[in-house]
Chain A
Amino acid sequence: MISPANYVALAAILFVIGAVGVLVRRNALVVFMCVELMLNAVNLAFIAFARLHGDLNGQVIAFFVMVVAAAEVVVGLAILTSIFRARKSASVDDANLLKY
């Protein structure tokens, strides 16, 4: 049986990759996808800890994370389409009217 520590380490690696993607990429869609990757990594850690402790609370929290992530994606993508309609661009660099 594989230790939950391996799953937690994998979750940490995936989380960091997602964070680097958010910092590096400038297409807003890709940034969103990297945020999803981070949320998924955290879910993996939740489920690994649920297994470690032998109860279901971690799984319930992961379930709630999925619900919130789904809502976040819906609103985020709607904002993205409305920005794209106004600015003709999906790059996070082009939405800079609130700068300074």
Chain B
Amino acid sequence: MTHSMILAGSAASNTEVATFWVLAVAAVGAALGMIATRRAVHCAVLLAVVMLILAAMYAMQGAPFLAFVQVIVYTGAVLMLFLFVMMIVGITAADSIIETIRGQRLFAGLAGIAMLVLLILVVGHATIGPAAPSGPRNSSLNVDGLARLVFTTYVFPFEVTSALLITAALGAMVLAHRERTTPRPTQRMLSTRRIASGRPTPLPGPGTYARHNAVDMPALLPDGTQSRLSVSNVLLGPIALGSPAIAAGPEPGGGAQTAGDEREEEQ
């Protein structure tokens, strides 16, 4: 049903012109925002916008199968993977304004403009005629035709693709796997370490006030000062993350223990 709706949309020419210009402007705007925004998360959201717009354009051009693959694979899988990695690497990671290479942005901009002029000249000079009359690609046989091509002409590349995917999955597992270098601490070792650390009790919870009970509100100590221990280091942002004790790497006891020790030292 969706299939025929998309095809009906592509048949109406005026609709296509209007849709193209609206979507094209939005896509270029989102792409420009991608390279302008400093936060990686904003970048990912804008990339999702571009990808969804491209999916709509595939559908407009008689490629409904690829439109859905675009939504499922790119917007669904690839961008989610990006967001997961962003959670590992640090959601607050933002680019600094300072250029490490002098004039890098200027030259990158010039190179981009030169490339754009070149490509637009090539596209403008090429005689790109009107689209071919609707053949099997535009009908409901799109998936049939693609399947026929993939399993006849392109059957060898298709098989090689499976090898590529298996290799990529294995490679990702090998690269992301972390070998345990120290033995797993036992319950007794953990309790000994906790007593030796000078704070046998759990860390204080976040502050609860009349107006706020958010976890990033520090608890107040009896003398009125804020207890930094009561707020997770993750919520304190890049300053806490970049502190030397954490940057030095996790100790054998594990990252959480290191963070706790570091916070105690600051108290």
- Tell me whether A and B are bound partners: yes
Which chain A residues have a beta carbon within 8 Å of chain B's beta carbons? 1-10, 12-21, 23-27, 29-30, 32-34, 36-37, 40, 43-44, 47-48, 50-57, 59-60, 62-64, 66-75, 77-82, 84-85, 88, 90-91, 93
**B2 lies within 8 A of chain A by Cβ:** no
**B253 lies within 8 A of chain A by Cβ:** no
**B190 lies within 8 A of chain A by Cβ:** no
A70-B95 in contact (CB<8A): no
**B150 lies within 8 A of chain A by Cβ:** yes
Query: Do A75 and B175 contact each other (CB < 8 Å), given the known contacts A14-B27, A90-B90, A93-B100?
Result: yes
**B50 lies within 8 A of chain A by Cβ:** yes
Q: Give, as a whole number of angstroms, the nearest-CB distance from A54 to chain B.
A: 3
Interface of A is mostly: helix
- C-alpha spacing A16/B35, complex, angstroms: 11
Query: Do A74 and B95 contact each other (CB < 8 Å), given the known contacts A34-B34, A67-B161, A88-B249?
Result: no
User: Per a CB cutoff under 8 Å, which of B96, B123, B168 touches A9?
Assistant: B123
A78-B57 in contact (CB<8A): no
A29-B146 in contact (CB<8A): no
- C-alpha spacing A78/B131, complex, angstroms: 41
> Which of B61-69, B191-199, B210-218, B256-264 interfaces with chain A?
B61-69
- C-alpha spacing A26/B94, complex, angstroms: 9
One digit per residue, 1 when the CB lies within 8 angstroms of any chain A CB and 0 when it does not, for chain B 110-128 equals: 0110011001100110101
- C-alpha spacing A56/B96, complex, angstroms: 45
A33-B44 in contact (CB<8A): yes
**B254 lies within 8 A of chain A by Cβ:** no
Q: Within B70-110, which residues are at the interface with A (CB < 8 Å)?
A: 70, 73-74, 77-78, 81-82, 85-86, 88-90, 93-96, 100, 104-105, 107-109
A77-B137 in contact (CB<8A): no
Ranked nearest first, the 10 interchain pairs of A and B with the lowest CB-CB distance are A54-B132, A23-B108, A71-B168, A78-B175, A20-B112, A12-B119, A21-B35, A5-B128, A78-B172, A1-B13
User: Per a CB cutoff under 8 Å, which of A7, A14, A27, A44 touches B40?
Assistant: A27
A36-B74 in contact (CB<8A): yes
B69-A51 in contact (CB<8A): no
Interface of B is mostly: helix
**B247 lies within 8 A of chain A by Cβ:** yes
- C-alpha spacing A20/B203, complex, angstroms: 47
Query: Do A8 and B168 contact each other (CB < 8 Å), given the known contacts A1-B13, A56-B149, A60-B146?
Result: no
**B164 lies within 8 A of chain A by Cβ:** yes
Query: Do A16 and B115 contact each other (CB < 8 Å), given the known contacts A26-B95, A64-B161?
Result: yes
Q: Give, as a whole number of angstroms, the nearest-CB distance from A40 to chain B.
A: 5
Which residues does chain B contribute within 8 Å of A78, judged by CB atoms?
Answer: 171-173, 175-176
**B178 lies within 8 A of chain A by Cβ:** yes
B89-A80 in contact (CB<8A): yes
One digit per residue, 1 when the CB lies within 8 angstroms of any chain A CB and 0 when it does not, for chain B 137-166 equals: 100001001100110011001000100110
**B219 lies within 8 A of chain A by Cβ:** no
Residue of chain A at shortest CB distance from B105: A24
A26-B164 in contact (CB<8A): no
A82-B175 in contact (CB<8A): yes
**B7 lies within 8 A of chain A by Cβ:** no
- C-alpha spacing A2/B129, complex, angstroms: 11
Which residues does chain B contribute within 8 Å of A37, judged by CB atoms?
Answer: 31, 34, 47, 50
Which residues does chain A contribute within 8 Å of B150, judged by CB atoms?
Answer: 60, 63
User: Per a CB cutoff under 8 Å, which of A4, A43, A52, A84 touches B89?
Assistant: A84
